[in-house]
Every structure is written in C-alpha cells, then in structure tokens.
Chain A
Amino acid sequence: MYREALNRALYEEMKRDPLVFIMGEGIAEFGGTYKVTDGLWKEFGLERLIDTPIAEASFTGMAVGAALVGARPVIEHLFVDFTMLVMDQIVNQAAKYKFMSGDQGTVPMVMRTQGGAGNGLAAQHSQSLEALFYHIPGLKLIMPATPYDACGLLKSAIRDDEPVIFIEHKLLYMTKGEVPDEEYLLPIGKADIKRAGEDVTLITYSAMTLKCLEAAEALEKEGISVEVVDLRTLTPLDKETVLASARKTGRVIIVHEACKRGGIGGDIASMIMEEAYDDLDGPVIRIAGKNTPIPYNLNIEKVSIPSVEEIVAGVLAMV
C-alpha cells in the first residue's frame, strides 16, 4: 500500500542516516493522521520523531535551520491547505537560501503533506495547491501516484540537498501496487510512461494518474490507443519525456485535479506549443478542476474535479 511504501521509505532512510528526523503534528505515538509514520517512534525514539505544537510556520522554519546546520529534517503537514501558514519559511527562506548565500549553504529538508478532494472534507482540507510551489524557483516538487513511486521518490527526496515539497494524495494511501523487496531509489525529475499508446497523450500526476489509466483502458475498447505520462516530479519537469510523447501522438491533454486557472497544465501546454508546435495535430487541451472551492456535498464535490468520463469524452472529442 501507498501508505506503507512511504512508511518504509522513512524507516529505511532513518535507519541509514542518524541525521534524518521527523517533525510534525501527531507523528510520533499517534502515527500521523494517515498513519504514514506509524510505529517509527518505537524504532527511532521520540528524539527523532518529534511531535510539535500547532505551530506550522515555526516548525517549518525549524526544519530550515536544522537543515542548514547539517541535519536532515522531514516535516509533515497534515493537509496541504495548512501549508498556507508556512509560505514565508518555504518561499522566502528555504527556496532562496542556496542562491542568495552564493551557494554557501543548502537546505536539505523534505516537507511532506497531502492534498486532494474526495473525502468530503470540504474547502479547507481538499485543495490541490501544487501550482503555488511549482511557481517558486528553488523548490523541488514531487507528487507520486503509486506505492512504488512513493517509496523510491521519498527516499531520493530525503537524500537530496535541496528543499523538496512532497505532496501525497489522501485517496491514494490505501491503494495497492507492486513494491520490490530490495532497496531502490527513483530519480527526481524523471516522468514515467505508465501506459504506452499511439493516438493521444494524457499528461498527468498524482491521483489523476489512476483516473487516466482507467480512461485509457476504456478507450482501448473503442480502438483508441492512449499514452499516459505520469510526471511524478513536477519540478524539475521531465520536458524530454513530455515532448517526446507529444511529438509521437500529436494530440495532448493535460489532466490535473487542481483548478484549471493558473494550474500547472497551462504552463506545460505553453511549453509543448513553444517547443513541439509543428508536431501537433491540434491545440493542447486541459482537463482540470473547476475554478471553485471544493464543496462538502458528495454530488457537487464529484463534479468539481475531473472524472474518468470527462477524460474519456475529452479524448473522444480529440480523435
């Protein structure tokens, strides 16, 4: 399971490096709201699994400081929505330090959090806010869709010397997938073609990857071959894989759960049109969340983000 894969990554990295420690609200004996850090305190003690008060801005800043003096902090924010309280420390401090110190210091910290709709948690616990971090030079941004990617990328994130924002999705924690027994790392900045196809490219990430794969499955029965590119890492963006797929199929749809306005899809669409325009059969399309706060009611929550049907319809309209 995705949740267990993350737990394993944390376990292995804490075992490997005594400088790795975790801070967050209820991450020790409580095990975290989504149980990602479950049981780790028993192995590594409360000196390395540090429960914090509800002081998001400052414990995030503490991660910056601890990283600057050589420790390897991993912090957890229960919901990506709560990271709006820590933007100074992430945007003005962590992201800038290496550059503005003239490379004297780096901030090897990981900020784990989770986002997304689907659990009836309404407008302040369901957002997809990755575009805010994507916009900031100096941050790496990872949003894995599968247990395999989650484990391998979290391990790489912890070993990375720069600040990494690692956003999980609340609907993925209980999803299953193959994870090898032996230790492995996955490179940051490398997309993964989750399904190869010829007619249309779906570029996506996080939980929408599963919806895109479901849509591709359905479309195969209609005789349409869909390629699903899971970005996995948004920054750095694997332009090479994105452009190669766009050139191959000539038809591209970008699918994400976050609001369409100002979303990552717009940036990727522009990049494809700037660099692969001649190979396209038509405009790059975005299928994304509605420009609305996420509602509480199930029926209107469902339609506020892309569905498998919407993706299928989008592809059919294109071919």
Chain B
Amino acid sequence: MERRVDIEVVYTTKLFNVTGVKEMVKKEPAKKDKLPVVAEKTLLEMYKKIYATRRFELTCIDLYRQGLIRGFLHPYLGEEAIAAGACTAINADDYIISTHRGHGHCVSKGTDLKLMIAEIMGRETGLCKGRGGSMHISCKEDNNLGANGIVGGGIPIGTGAGMGIKIRGTSQVVVTFFSDGASNNGVFAESINLASIYKLPVIFMLENNHYAVGTKVEFSSGDCNLAGRGPAYGIPGVCVDGNDAVAVYNATKEAAERARKGEGPTLIEANTYRHGGHHVNDPGLYMDQELLKQWKERDPMIVLQGKIQDEAKIKKIEEQIDGELEEAVAFAKSSPEPSVDEFLQSVINE
C-alpha cells in the first residue's frame, strides 16, 4: 500500500523502507533543511530513558515468569524512543496520558522505578496502592494521567486535559499517546476534531507499531498515511521515525511550542515496530520476521548510541540504571500486599 505524500511537515526525508509500506514522505519545507541540533545532555537524558525502559521491561517479563506479576503485561520493547523523545521535549509540569503499553511513558516522565515495580507487582507501596497494576499505572506527582485498559480510551481524556489547561489558563501541554490501533476508533476522529476546533494544547502522539493486537495496519486502515489524518481535521500531521529519539524529540518540541502559543494541536505519527507479540504471552508468530530483523537493526538504543558516540558516558548511565532497577525490585519484593481487611472495610458502605 502506498503512502500519500501531502503531509504538512516532515522531519526526515528518507525515513526507512523497512515497513513494507514503501517510502514514506518526500515533501519537506525549506526551513526544515537544517534540523535543530540537540545538545549532548539531552541525548544522554533520552538514552537514559530508553535504556531504563528496556531494562524495566525485561525485568518485568522476568518477574512475570516468576509469578510475581499477574494479569496482562504489554511490553514497550522496541518502541522506547517515542516515549523518551516526547517526554524529554516537554516540561516536568506538562501532562501525558498513556496506553495499555504504558511502562515506557511512565519511566520517561521520570517516575520512580521503585514505585512502578511495586505497582506492577500489586504491592501497597505501588503508585496506585496495588489497585491498578500495569494497565492502569499513573503518577499524579509527575502529571502522568495514566495508562488505560481500553484502546483509545485515553484519547478524549488527554484532549480534555487540554481543555482543563485552557480553563485554568496555564501554559502547559498534554502529550496523548495512542496507537495505530486506536487511530481507527471513533474517539480518535472525534477528539482530534474537538482539539482542532478549540485549539487545545494537545500533542497527539500516534505510535504506529504496525499492529493492532495481531492485525496489520494495512488491513485495518483504508489509508495507511495516518499522519495525513491531521490535515483532514485542520491540524498539522507530522511523520517521524519512531526509533529515532531525536526525530521524536524535535517533532514534539515544535508541536509543544505551537501548542503553547495557542496555535492548537499537532498529530505526530511515530513509526516503530514491536520487538515481540501483543503481550508477554504472545510470541508474535504472525509478525513478519524479516521485517522484525530489519527493525531490530535500527533498535532505538543503537540509533541513539550512534549519535552519542561516547561509550564511557553510555556505560555510566547503564550502570546507574541497573543499580536503580535492582533496588526497585528488592523494594517491591519486600513491600506488603494491600490489606484485605482494610479493603473490605473501605467498601462496606458502598
């Protein structure tokens, strides 16, 4: 299936043609010829988030296999650059709203790994006191409005956070993460239109990992040019390489500036590919293995390492994260479970 080329703004001319959907974008405005230079400090911050997410997910899979995590677990493996790029481009008091595949967003917003692991293990010390788990993880302190068990469910909520910001009169923005799967839900069309009408400070971050559970984007979308849906509702649609944290960072930065100036929302389609199936127990055998191999060669960690080129600094970050994660797991394991008596007492009059 061919991609249309009339996307308003693009950041990378030749993105990649490993998606199986041909080359993406040709048109590029002159002012974009020189991409902004990203400071090394920012690159390292993004690398830290990507590495932390990678290790976090692998740790969770391990804990799941040990029976310490129950329910569903949807790893963000392979997609880490999107959350890292987007969350680094916004301020600490900006909001994000996440998805069922939400650990990476939470990590990248800077949330304490201890509290995250404890939540995913259902402990009293977790962010949500063990009531939410992986699919509902949220962090008020970091303005993460939370993951969501309903695909697309967060899109209108993120849009409404933008309205709330407008009513309160602050200059914050919201990054609403969702997927190619959610982009075919009715609330996507409604919300993007609503945000456009009211010029809300919302960045719609469409993580196109090419699969809605097990259905390929080509089978679920009449037109695979998902970024092109922005201009259809009167807002810019931007298409970026989602495995390149810098590309996501730059696109988000510009969208956030636009939003803060009152110029309204932007749709960013960040292309990526899951490293595995839909959830921890899905081996993803339906996925194109050759394509997966190509995407893995462009792993978000490899792409960013290529831009940093300072092995000592990278190593230092990795050691720091490994230590934090070890502590986080120990903290969660030694944390109590929620009290059954207290729970029953709290619902007695409901």
Q: Which residues of A contact B (CB under 8 A)?
A: 18-19, 21, 23, 47-48, 50, 52-53, 55, 57-71, 73, 88-89, 92-93, 96-97, 99-105, 137, 236
By a CB distance below 8 angstroms, the chain A residues around B284 are: none
Q: Which of B139-175 contact A (CB under 8 A)?
A: 139-140, 145-146, 148-150, 153, 155-168, 174
Q: When the two chains form their complex, are residues A62 and B131 in contact, meaning their CB atoms are under 8 A apart? A: no
Within 8 A of A (CB), among B100-153: 126-132, 136, 138-140, 145-146, 148-150, 153
Chain B residues closer than 8 Å to A66, beta-carbon distance:
160-161, 163-164, 167
Partner among B149, B150, B168, B193 whose Cβ is within 8 Å of the Cβ of A55: B193
CA distance A278 to B292 in the complex (A): 70
Question: How many A-B contacts at CB < 8 Å in the complex?
Answer: 139
Instruction: Tell me, yes or no, whether B197 is within 8 Å of chain A by CB.
Output: yes
Determine if B219 is an interface residue (Cβ-Cβ < 8 Å): no
Bound state CA distance, A97 and B127, in angstroms? 13
Chain B's closest residue to A109 (CB) is: B160
CB pair A102 B164 closer than 8 Å = no
Most buried by B among A64, A67, A236: A64
Closest chain B CB from A89 CB (angstroms): 6
Q: Note all chain B residues with C-beta closer than 8 A to A93.
A: 148, 150, 153, 157
Of the listed residues B95, B126, B168, the one surrounded by the most CB atoms of chain A closer than 10 A to its CB is: B168
Contact-residue bracket for chain B: 35 or more
Is the CB–CB distance between A101 and B132 below 8 Å?
A: yes
**Known pairs A65-B145, A88-B153, A102-B130; A57 contacts B190 (CB<8 A):** yes
6 contacts between A and B (CB under 8 A): A50-B163, A65-B174, A66-B167, A71-B167, A102-B128, A102-B129
Contact between chains at A71 and B155 (CB < 8 Å):
no
Q: A55-B193, A69-B165, A70-B168 are in contact. Are A102 and B126 (CB under 8 A)?
A: yes
- A-contacting residues of B (Cβ < 8 Å)? 95, 97, 126-132, 136, 138-140, 145-146, 148-150, 153, 155-168, 174, 186-187, 190-191, 193-194, 197-198, 347, 349-350
Q: Is the beta-carbon distance between A100 and B160 smaller than 8 angstroms?
A: no
Whether B131 and A88, one on each chain, are in contact in the complex, defined by CB atoms closer than 8 angstroms, is: no
| Contact present for B160 and A64 (CB under 8 Å) | yes
B95 proximity list for chain A (CB < 8 A): 69
Q: Which residue of A lies closest to B152 (CB)?
A: A88
Chain B, Cβ-Cβ closest to A239? B349
Cβ–Cβ < 8 Å partners of A50 in chain B:
163, 198
3 A-B pairs with the lowest CB-CB distances in the bound complex, closest first: A61-B156, A65-B160, A62-B160
Closest B residue to A58 by beta carbon equals B190
Q: How far is the CA of A100 from the CA of B145 in the complex (A)?
A: 12
Task: Give the chain B neighbours of A88 by CB distance below 8 A.
Answer: 150, 153
Give, as a whole number of angstroms, the nearest-CB distance from A40 to chain B: 15
Residues of B close to A52: CB separation below 8 A: 194
Residue of A whose beta carbon sits closest to that of B95: A69
Q: How far is the CA of A69 from the CA of B160 in the complex (A)?
A: 9
**Closest chain A residue to B149, Cβ basis:** A92
A61 interface neighbour in B146, B160, B193, B198, Cβ under 8 Å: B160
Q: Which of B127, B155, B157, B350 is close to A68, meaning CB atoms less than 8 Å apart? A: B157
A30 to B95 CA separation, bound complex (whole angstroms): 34
Q: Complex formed: what's the CA distance from A58 to B190 in Å?
A: 6
Chain B neighbourhood of A18, CB < 8 A? 167
Q: Across the interface, do B198 and A65 meet the contact criterion of CB distance under 8 Å?
A: no
